[in-house]
Structures are given as C-alpha cells and as structure tokens.
Amino acid sequence: MNTVAVSTQKREEVGSRLAKISRSEGLVPAVIYGGKETQHVLVSPKEIKGLIYTSDFKIAKVEVDGDVVDCIVKDTQFHPVSDELIHIDFLRLSPGRPVKVEIPVRFVGTSPGVKLGGKLIQQMRKIKIKTTPENLIDEVKVDISHLDLGHVLRVKSIEVSANIEVLANSSIPIANIEIPRALKSAA
C-alpha cells in the first residue's frame, strides 16, 4: 500500500476569517474526522501534493502533535478561479470499521482484439469499493487478455477478495475493444 507522510500544525481556533489568514500564509486548512474526535489542522501544500495530484490511491500518515494517524482523503475543495487547493478533509481509518473508497482500475495482459487493429476504450478509470482498512488495496487489476474485437468487459468480471465489496452495478462496462472503420469496411 502506498503511503504519504503528512506533518500538520494544530488549529486552536476555527472560522472563515482565520482560514483566510492561514491561506494567505501559504497553508491549507484541513479537518481530520472519524473516530472519537474531530481535529482541525493546517497543512503545507507541498506535503500533500503527492496525495492530491495523482491518480493512484494512497493512505496519508498524518502527524498531529506527535501522534501518527492513518487517513484517507475524503474531500478536497479548490478555488473556482485559481484552481488552488483551499480545504481538505481527511477520514481517520479505524481498524475493523468499513470505509468506502475509489481506487484505480488497471489492465493486465494484451488483448487479441488490439493485436488485430482494434482500439481499447477504457470507460471506467476508478471503481468504488467498501472494505475495512486492513483489507484495503491500492488498485484493481483486470485481465483483458480474452477481449476480442467488439467485446465488452463489465464490472461483474472484476475479481477481488471476499473481504472487499464492489459498489458498482455489475452490468456497467469497464472497457471495450472498438472495431476501427477500416476493419468494418473490409468486412
């Protein structure tokens, strides 16, 4: 499992005026919720760059007052004009308590349909799963070595362990092999 270490400063006072001051100092207000208490902290944008601006699923090891807490990014807010990160929500991972996360879908193998000139169209980049923190995975691998021209791969063909529940409709397509015009006209 990929992790990113994030150090924080605790915020004693909260409010929009103080959050605006913190942003002008180059810090991002954040909230850690879940578990016993909600904690308000400040984070450096450099610390969370590898956590936010990536397509990979990562767990944040957030350090608050010397304690390290495992968290996932639950929500982010960006400025509508400058696209600057203005707020982040972390969800504390509690052992045995299920969480819902979106993880990337990765393809393995080579499709015979692609070898014949077809085009692989990926229709689903991430999939939502529900599992406990002990069973979290960082990606779902799907075998495409059986996809021929015109075939479709659906959610029901995803194989995960028994501790993981896929929260998508089983008939939704993940990928398909599109037949190019040249091959259609030749047939």
Mean pLDDT of 133-142: 92
Mean pLDDT of 98-115: 93
> What pLDDT, on a 0 to 100 scale, did the predictor assign at position 72?
94
Residue 2: phi and psi, rounded to 5, are: -75, 135
Judged against a pLDDT cut of 80, whether residue 44 lies above it is answered with yes
CB 152 within 8 A of CB 120: no
> What pLDDT, on a 0 to 100 scale, did the predictor assign at position 73?
94
- Measured CA to CA in angstroms, residue 149 lies from 32, 101, 122, 125, 180 at distances of 47, 32, 14, 21, 9
pLDDT band at 187 (very low <50, low <70, confident <90, very high): low
pLDDT in tens, 2-34: 899 999 988 888 888 888 888 889 999 999 998
Judged against a pLDDT cut of 80, whether residue 83 lies above it is answered with yes
This prediction's pTM:
0.83
Task: Tally the residues of the chain.
Answer: 187
Rounded mean pLDDT of the chain? 91
Mean pLDDT of 49-61: 92
CA distance 31 to 75: 10
Judged against a pLDDT cut of 70, whether residue 128 lies above it is answered with yes
> What pLDDT, on a 0 to 100 scale, did the predictor assign at position 42?
94
Judged against a pLDDT cut of 90, whether residue 97 lies above it is answered with yes
Judged against a pLDDT cut of 70, whether residue 156 lies above it is answered with yes
